[in-house]
């Protein structure tokens, strides 16, 4: 019998009583979607999944992305990416610095991301406390609290999102050893535009769909005005009152929806404090066509 336990904070819930290695019942599938809509971030504790199991679960919610820039993929399962700081025989096992600043996955893509599904296999700890938490910010609440004048001014406007913005920030500001993107990689990820405010396909409510990781310009505004508004939006959306922190345990499956949240992987652990997580990214192809999206009037692909 499945059971939803809300965190009591601005985001986050735990679902107990579902074994994700088994095919989901329609009831559990609906429950997960509704819980994602209500709480944004959902943890399924104590799971036991291999790579095909993770892929099977995640792919119930939409097509899975194969990341162009990443070579750390589970052999035979390119949809499963490895996030890890472990180096064995001089060879990194995974991408060590994925998502280490505030962003929304795949906002740089024509088909945006619906959800991330991460399976925590090794979680670093110091003095018994977990490190490498994942932080989230609630974009339903951030939209709701925007001054009315900003809501009206930006209504119907679009913003450009560029994959290279986050990539270059990691290289410039965080000392990442990532090489620059090749012209071929850049050509596969050209900048794209999305509405600044999206109607969420589960809740039918408006969310602020801009993020400091990838958003570079509000298309309908002159550059200086766009810079000023984006600086305001980035500061507003990261107000601590919208934030929630997931402290990992081994065998957690953490699923979050990317349309109404931002996230940040906190890099507070040393190279000898090992983190090993498997990740699938679900695209928002199916969700915008789903009965749920139709019911709330958000049945449009972005």
Binding mask 224-263 for ligand SIN (x = CB under 6 A): ---------------------------------------x
* Nearer CB in complex with ligand SIN: 189/279: 279
DSSP class per residue in 138-182: EHHHHHHTS-HHHHHHHTT-EEEE-HHHHHHHHHHHS---PPPPP
Residue 265 interacts with ligand SIN (CB under 6 A): yes or no? yes
The H or E element that residue 52 is part of is helix 51-58
* Nearer CB in complex with ligand SIN: 226/261: 261
Q: CB of 223: closest distance to ligand SIN in angstroms?
A: 29
Identified binder of ligand SIN from the candidate list 159, 277, 283, 298, rule CB under 6 A: 277
Q: CB of 275: closest distance to ligand SIN in angstroms?
A: 8
- Please tell me the distance from the alpha carbon of residue 31 to that of residue 2, in angstroms, as a whole number: 9
* Nearer CB in complex with ligand SIN: 81/287: 81
Q: CB of 107: closest distance to ligand SIN in angstroms?
A: 12
Beta strands (DSSP E) in the chain are 3-6, 13-16, 41-44, 73-74, 77-84, 87-88, 91-92, 113-122, 125-126, 129-130, 134-138, 158-161, 192-195, 197-199, 206-208, 215-218, 243-246, 253-257, 261-265, 276-283
Binding mask 53-92 for ligand SIN (x = CB under 6 A): ------------------------------x---------
Strand partners, 138: 261
* Nearer CB in complex with ligand SIN: 35/116: 116
* Nearer CB in complex with ligand SIN: 83/210: 83
- Please tell me the distance from the alpha carbon of residue 138 to that of residue 10, in angstroms, as a whole number: 7
Q: CB of 149: closest distance to ligand SIN in angstroms?
A: 33
Q: CB of 281: closest distance to ligand SIN in angstroms?
A: 8
Binding mask 92-111 for ligand SIN (x = CB under 6 A): ------xx-----x------
- Please tell me the distance from the alpha carbon of residue 19 to that of residue 153, in angstroms, as a whole number: 46
* Nearer CB in complex with ligand SIN: 158/176: 176
Secondary structure class of 227 (helix, strand, coil): helix
Return the closest-CA partner of residue 3 out of 13, 21, 15.
15
Q: Summarize as ranges the residues that interact with ligand SIN (CB under 6 A).
A: 83, 98-99, 105, 116, 134, 263, 265, 277, 279
């Amino acid at each position: 019998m499945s059971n939803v336990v809300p965190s009591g904070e601005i985001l986050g819930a735990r679902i107990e009583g579902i074994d994700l290695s088994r095919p989901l019942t329609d009831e559990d599938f609906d429950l997960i979607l509704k819980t994602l809509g209500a709480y944004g971030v959902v943890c399924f504790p104590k799971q036991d999944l291999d790579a095909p199991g993770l892929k099977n679960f995640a792919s119930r919610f939409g097509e899975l992305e194969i990341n162009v820039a990443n070579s750390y993929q589970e052999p035979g399962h390119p949809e499963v990416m490895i996030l890890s700081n472990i180096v064995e025989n001089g060879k990194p096992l995974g991408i060590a610095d994925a998502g280490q600043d505030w962003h929304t996955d795949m906002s740089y893509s024509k088909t945006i991301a619906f959800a991330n599904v991460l399976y925590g296999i090794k979680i670093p700890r110091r003095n018994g406390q977990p490190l490498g938490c994942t932080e989230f910010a609630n974009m339903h609440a951030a939209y709701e609290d925007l001054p009315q004048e900003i809501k009206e001014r930006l209504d119907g406007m679009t913003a450009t999102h560029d994959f290279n913005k986050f990539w270059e920030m990691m290289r410039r500001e965080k000392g990442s050893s990532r090489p620059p993107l090749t012209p071929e990689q850049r050509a596969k990820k050209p900048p794209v535009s999305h509405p600044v405010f999206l109607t969420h396909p589960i809740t039918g409510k408006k969310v602020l769909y801009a993020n400091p990781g990838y958003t570079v310009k509000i298309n309908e505004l002159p550059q200086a005005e766009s810079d000023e508004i984006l600086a305001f939006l980035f500061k507003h959306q990261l107000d601590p009152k919208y934030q929630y922190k997931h402290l990992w345990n081994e065998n957690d499956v953490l699923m979050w929806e990317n349309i109404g949240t931002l996230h940040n992987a906190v890099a507070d652990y040393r190279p000898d404090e090992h983190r090993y997580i498997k990740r699938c990214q679900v695209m928002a192809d199916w969700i915008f066509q789903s009965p749920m999206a139709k019911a709330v009037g958000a049945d449009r692909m972005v």
